[in-house]
Structure 1
C-alpha cells in the first residue's frame, strides 16, 4: 500500500506518482475499486537498482 511504499522508499506520494508516469518506478497493482498496492519485490528491485547505479557512478 502507498503508506508503506512511502515509508520504505523515503519518497513522497507526488514523487512516486511522478516517477510512475515516467516509467521510472514500479507501477501499482489494482486491488479493485480505488485500492492499489505495489509488489514488495518490485519496489525492492527498484531500490537495489538505484543503489547499483550509484555505485557505478562513483566507480566511473
Structure 2
C-alpha cells in the first residue's frame, strides 16, 4: 500500500537547492545534521544524497516561527 503524500513532500532536492533555500553553507548544514538540528539527508546512491523538500520546508517554517517568538 502506498502512502498518500503531498507533491512537495515527495520531491527530493539536492544540496545546491537546499543551500539556496536555507541560506546556509555546506559545512553548516552537515554540522546541524550531526547535532540533530537539521533534517537528515537520504542516500540515493554511492555518491548521491538528497533531502525531502517537505522536511526542508518544515525546518524553514520552524525557524520563521522561532524568530516571530523572539
Matched, 1:10 2:19: no
Aligned length: 57
State the alpha-carbon separation in 2 of the partners of residues 51 and 8 from structure 1.
Answer: 13
Q: Flag the structure with higher helix content.
A: 1
Q: CA deviation at 1:27?
A: 0.4
After the TM superposition, which segments of 4 or more aligned residues of structure 1 sit over 3 Å from their partners?
A: none
Q: Flag the structure with higher strand content.
A: 2
Q: TM-score, normalised by structure 2?
A: 0.79
Q: Between the two structures, name the one with larger relative contact order (CA 8 Å, sep ≥ 6).
A: 2
Question: What are the ranges of 5 or more consecutive residues in structure 2 without an aligned counterpart?
Answer: 1-13
State the alpha-carbon separation in 1 of the partners of residues 45 and 55 from structure 2.
Answer: 20
